Every structure is written in C-alpha cells, then in structure tokens.
Homo-oligomer: A and B are copies of this chain.
C-alpha cells in the first residue's frame, strides 16, 4: 500500500481526515513528520529545519482559513546538542511569530536520524475545505511558485546560504483568514500546484484549466531553470512552496483581500467541469511523494 492509498484508507474510516487539517468543534489541527534524509538537504541549518517543519503545519492551518494559536514539535536526534536544539527552537519560534502563533516546545526523543514531528492548532470558525469549487469560478494562487525547487538546486550546488534563505517561507495564515469570505475551496501547494489542482478537482468534483504564462514564478527559478520545460517542472511539480491554491466566484475581491495582508495573489485559470489542463494539455497528477523523488 503506498502512502496515498493508506491516507485514503484513513480518510474513509475517519470523517475529519483528508483535508489539510482536521476540524473538530471550533479547532483545526494538523500534524506532519519530516526527516533529515527526505526533507532537509545537506546544508539545511537546524534553524531552517525548525522554521520549515513548524511552518509546514502552520501552512495547513492557513489552508483551512484558520488562525494559528500554537505549535509543538517533537525533536528526535541521535544526540541533543545544545546549539542545534537552540537553533531549532529559534527557527520554530520565528515562524510562529510571523503568524501570531506561540511555539510552546514539545518533546525530545533519541533517533538515529534527525526527525521532527510538528503539530499546529488554531481556531477555525468558518473552515474552507477542498470541496466547494464550482465550474466558472476563478482559480488563484498566493505568492510565487518554485521557491523550494530553486532552493533544492541551490543546496545541490553547495550554496547553502541561498538554500536556507529560500527554505524559510512565510505561512499564508493572514491570507487564508482574509479568504474566508471569498474562497469556495482551498488547500496549500505542499505537494505542488499540479497535484493540488488534481486534489481540489477530486474533492470538488470539477476540473481546472490554467495557463502556463499566468503562473507567478519565483525569480530564483529563472536563475536556475535550464529550459522552459524545466521552469514549468519547478513551478508546478516540485512543490513544497506552501502557497495557497484557492477558487473564488469573485477573483477581484479575493485578490484584493489577500493583497491587503501584504501577499500577492494571482488568477491562474478557471474551474471547469472536468480534467486538469494547462494551456489546453493535460497536466499530469505528479508531484512530490515521500521516497519517490528528491
């Protein structure tokens, strides 16, 4: 059983699973585990790891239109080195501060490989789910795509400073909150734009038609992309950019609401009846799956 089948199984037995975060009563909650080998390229500082791991969970709250109350992390490593642990806590605290959440520590455990399990909790009075998109609406993204793809190239080239800089992203909690009155469906782009569109399509029983030349691409991608095809790969498939992908019946109002929080938003196409197309061609449901790529 691969990861997606296993998650699907969890989702059928547990009603709240299957969205970016679970919603129980007035709370949204989400948890993730990250590993040194698969998630933190050589050169990633422990501060960046703390930032990114906690940030990924905060992004899941953002994707529900929830606020972010607090986050915890389990820090598991072969040894507890004070400088590394302090750096992790600093990164985790910094990304929480960016979204008005509190990092409240967590648990420690011995592990042969550096591993962290993070959980974030917030209030979700009006959660936005993946289901809810209607044909004719616009589909949009916040910020720019390809940031993580560019970071991975930088790490691979030995430029760890640039990689770490790109790896520390701002979770879109404020934008997600601003979209509560505007978005009909939403998720974050942690698995890449292409896979996100497929998942929204499945949850909303719709399709999408997006245009390549509308995608907002991070300038760092242009510096590393070897071809137009490579550029598209970076923007649509590598993923882990933690931007919001959302649909809306009123794109002008939705974009303005996001922009009021200091983040860009871009209309990249429209909701259709079925199929996920980019410039009229099928956009494959391909992205980051643990253990398959990287």
- Taking Cβ atoms with an 8 Å cutoff, the residues of A that contact B are 1-3, 5-7, 9-11, 13-14, 16-18, 22, 24-25, 27, 29-33, 35, 38, 69-70, 72-74, 76, 79-82, 85-86, 89, 93, 102-112, 115, 117, 119, 121, 290-291
Contact = CB atoms under 8 A, between A and B. Distances in A.
A73 B22 CA distance: 12
23 contacts: A1-B79, A1-B80, A1-B85, A3-B80, A3-B108, A6-B80, A6-B82, A6-B108, A9-B86, A10-B106, A14-B89, A14-B103, A14-B104, A17-B106, A22-B104, A24-B70, A27-B121, A29-B72, A32-B107, A33-B74, A35-B111, A38-B110, A110-B291
A121 B69 CA distance: 12
A70 B109 contact: no
A22 B70 contact: yes
A17 B105 contact: yes
List the 7 closest pairs (A to B, CB-CB), nearest first.
A117-B117, A17-B105, A22-B104, A119-B119, A6-B80, A24-B70, A16-B104
A62 to B, nearest CB: 17
A10 to B, nearest CB: 5
Nearest to A117: B117
A69 B22 CA distance: 12
Given A10-B85, A72-B30, A76-B33, A16 B108 contact: no
A111 B38 CA distance: 11
A234 to B, nearest CB: 25
Nearest to A77: B6
Contact of A102 (B16, B73, B102, B108): B16
A76 B80 CA distance: 22
Contact of A6 (B2, B38, B85, B291): B85
B1 A74 contact: no
A105 B6 contact: no
Q: Please indicate which of the listed interface residues A14, A76, A79, A109 has the most CB atoms of chain B within 10 Å of its own CB.
A: A109
Contacts of A3: 80, 108, 110
A69 B25 contact: yes
Contacts of A111: 35, 115
A27 B70 contact: yes
A285 B13 CA distance: 43
Contact of A33 (B35, B79, B89, B117): B117
B105 A9 contact: no
A105 B22 contact: yes
Contact of A106 (B31, B70, B73, B108): B31
B121 A82 contact: no
Contacts of A106: 10, 17, 31
Contacts of A74: 31-33, 117
Contacts of A103: 14
